[in-house]
């Protein structure tokens, strides 16, 4: 009960993940019906799905500056408003170009929320709870995906089905906006703006036994060290944290997760499911597995460590992708059983991803960077995440059309193998190591395998 209010704050802020997760999942089912409304090429389908990522790159790139000027809380609330408006624009789109433009607008909110919510969570969290609370954001993303799948199933039989699916995005937007109305901004931002009395109250509410005045003095000392008037210079030792941060974002996205999330119903139909409704129901099952296994991951991240879970997850992802490719390659042999091979492969993939790359990717990004550049570095990694995402999501329907499902999934499997090699040689094990010790290890050039 000691940290009850802290958990309430963290859960409400984490609802920002609902926005990102909802948009990620809802388009998967909506696309099946959008194609019935308009005659779309594979390229146009890829653009409608990936347009949100164009806006996300812009939002992630500008968010660091906006969050410093206006505060974390106000930016989260503004994000909710943008998402609500964008959902309305998408629902009333009159042609594919309007829908694409509307999804770019929604993407701006998605890009902001993917940076500002983890930042908010890290700045309100006590040191010993930071990993768990930041992980709540990934859990909220999976909750948003699952919610979108249920919405897709509910409106699949409705008139104007895909429009209702996209319009329902106002729900997570309203929940986040209303919840954040009752929250405070982070103590660090309040101290930076000279609002020390407010910061003291926030410290007292989130960590009752802490010496609020001592905490404020520590923040002021950090700000003094970081704002000493010296021109910032990127040092050679800072390169490795960027290699790890951007590399883990590459691994998280380019092993194909969003081809599964965005296109699961399309994949199921290609594998033999005979109707849009059946494919959507099968996809809902995938969402449930993703949601549940992310909860499981929360209990193992600080017990087993980051790298063991990454080895387990990436190996399982690679094998499931190989199996999925084989299913499509030997479709004639499998016949009606192809759809069950597909279901089994996708479930295995989601289990392995949700217990590893999903939460651990964001945890590592919040841990490996030195304090002085942590904000801008996380913003850069978020931009990289969405850039990789755009490339993968846009190209997926084109790859399916040009080279087929087998080689497409085998390609992602090959990427997964190289990501295992990357983790082994370059990613440090950060379990049980303070952020200060991680920074010292980078400065002294410690081999990531020996952290």
pLDDT digits (tens, 9 = 90+) for 141-174: 888 888 888 898 889 888 888 999 999 999 889 9
More confident of the two residues 139 and 423? 423
What token pair was written down for 122?
């890290």
Is pLDDT at 386 greater than 80 in this prediction?
A: yes
Q: What pLDDT does 222 receive? A: 61
Distance CA 328, CA 147 (A): 29
Cβ–Cβ < 8 Å for 139, 294: yes
More confident of the two residues 392 and 132? 392
- Ranking 189-203, 213-227, 323-337 by mean pLDDT, the lowest is 213-227
Q: What pLDDT does 303 receive? A: 78
Distance CA 355, CA 364 (A): 14
Q: What pLDDT does 127 receive? A: 66
Average pLDDT for 403-412 = 89
Average pLDDT for 40-69 = 83
Q: What pLDDT does 362 receive? A: 82
Per the prediction, the chain carries an average pLDDT of 84
Q: What percent of the chain has pLDDT over 90?
A: 25
Nearest to 134 by CA among 234, 220, 10: 10
Residue keyed to tokens 């091979």:
341
Is pLDDT at 85 greater than 90 in this prediction?
A: yes
Is pLDDT at 392 greater than 80 in this prediction?
A: yes
Cβ–Cβ < 8 Å for 247, 427: yes
Is pLDDT at 434 greater than 90 in this prediction?
A: no
Is pLDDT at 428 greater than 90 in this prediction?
A: yes
Is pLDDT at 314 greater than 90 in this prediction?
A: yes
Q: What pLDDT does 184 receive? A: 87
Q: What pLDDT does 233 receive? A: 67
Q: What is the pLDDT of residues 335-362, one digit of tens each?
A: 666 667 777 888 899 999 988 998 888 8
DSSP label of 230: P
More confident of the two residues 12 and 331? 12
DSSP label of 232: P
DSSP H stretches of helix in 271-305:
276-304
Q: What pLDDT does 284 receive? A: 80
Q: What is the pTM (predicted TM-score) of this model? A: 0.76
More confident of the two residues 193 and 182? 182
With cut-offs at 50, 70 and 90, classify the pLDDT of residue 72: confident
Cβ–Cβ < 8 Å for 69, 85: no
- Ranking 98-107, 280-289, 304-313 by mean pLDDT, the lowest is 280-289
Nearest to 368 by CA among 446, 313, 421, 309: 446
Distance CA 73, CA 176 (A): 11
Q: What is the pLDDT of residues 249-270, one digit of tens each?
A: 999 999 988 787 767 777 777 6
Nearest to 60 by CA among 365, 343, 341: 365
Q: What is the pLDDT of residues 325-335, one digit of tens each?
A: 888 787 667 66
Is pLDDT at 227 greater than 70 in this prediction?
A: no
- Ranking 246-250, 347-351, 373-377, 442-446 by mean pLDDT, the lowest is 373-377
DSSP label of 194: T
User: Which one of 49-53, 77-81, 193-197, 443-447 scores highest in mean pLDDT?
Assistant: 77-81
CATH placement of domain 4-183+234-450: 1.20.1250.20
């Amino acid at each position: 009960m000691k940290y009850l209010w802290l958990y309430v704050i963290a859960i409400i802020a984490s609802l920002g993940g609902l926005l990102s997760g909802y948009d990620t999942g809802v388009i998967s089912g909506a696309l099946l019906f959008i194609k019935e409304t308009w005659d779309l090429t594979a390229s146009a389908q890829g653009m409608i799905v990936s347009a949100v990522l164009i806006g996300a790159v812009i939002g992630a790139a500008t968010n660091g500056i906006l969050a410093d000027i206006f505060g974390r809380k106000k930016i989260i609330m503004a994000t909710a408003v943008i998402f609500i408006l964008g959902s309305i624009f998408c629902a009333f789109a009159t042609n594919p170009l309007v829908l694409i433009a509307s999804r770019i607008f929604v993407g701006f909110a998605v890009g902001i929320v993917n940076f500002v919510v983890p930042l908010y969570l890290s700045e309100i969290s006590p040191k010993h709870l930071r990993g768990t609370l930041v992980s709540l954001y990934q859990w909220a993303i999976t909750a948003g995906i699952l919610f979108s799948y249920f919405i897709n199933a509910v409106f699949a039989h409705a008139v104007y089905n895909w429009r209702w699916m996209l319009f329902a995005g106002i729900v997570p937007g309203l929940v986040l906006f209303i919840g954040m109305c009752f929250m405070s901004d982070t103590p660090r931002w309040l101290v930076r703006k000279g609002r020390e009395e407010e910061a003291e109250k926030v410290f007292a509410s989130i960590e009752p036994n802490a010496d609020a005045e001592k905490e404020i003095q520590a923040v002021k000392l950090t700000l003094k060290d970081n704002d000493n008037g010296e021109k910032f210079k990127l040092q050679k030792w800072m390169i490795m944290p960027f290699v790890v941060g951007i590399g883990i974002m590459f691994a998280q996205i380019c092993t194909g997760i969003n081809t599964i999330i965005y296109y699961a119903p399309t994949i199921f139909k290609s594998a033999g499911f005979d109707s849009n409704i059946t494919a959507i129901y099968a996809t809902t099952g995938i969402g449930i597995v993703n949601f549940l296994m992310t909860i499981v991951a929360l209990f193992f991240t600080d017990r087993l460590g980051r790298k063991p879970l990454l080895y387990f997850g990436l190996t399982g992802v690679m094998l499931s992708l190989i199996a999925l490719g084989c299913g499509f390659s030997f479709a004639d042999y499998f016949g009606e059983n192809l759809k069950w091979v597909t279901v089994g492969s996708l479930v295995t993939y989601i289990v392995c991803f949700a217990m590893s790359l999903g939460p651990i990717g964001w945890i590592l990004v919040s841990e490996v960077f030195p304090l002085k550049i942590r904000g801008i570095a996380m913003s850069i990694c978020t931009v990289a995440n969405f850039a990789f995402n755009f490339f993968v999501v846009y190209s997926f329907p084109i790859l399916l059309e040009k080279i087929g499902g087998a080689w497409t999934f085998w390609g992602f499997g090959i990427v997964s193998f190289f990501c295992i090699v990357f983790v082994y040689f370059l990613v440090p094990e950060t379990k049980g190591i303070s952020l200060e010790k991680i920074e010292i290890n980078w400065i002294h050039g410690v081999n990531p395998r020996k952290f």
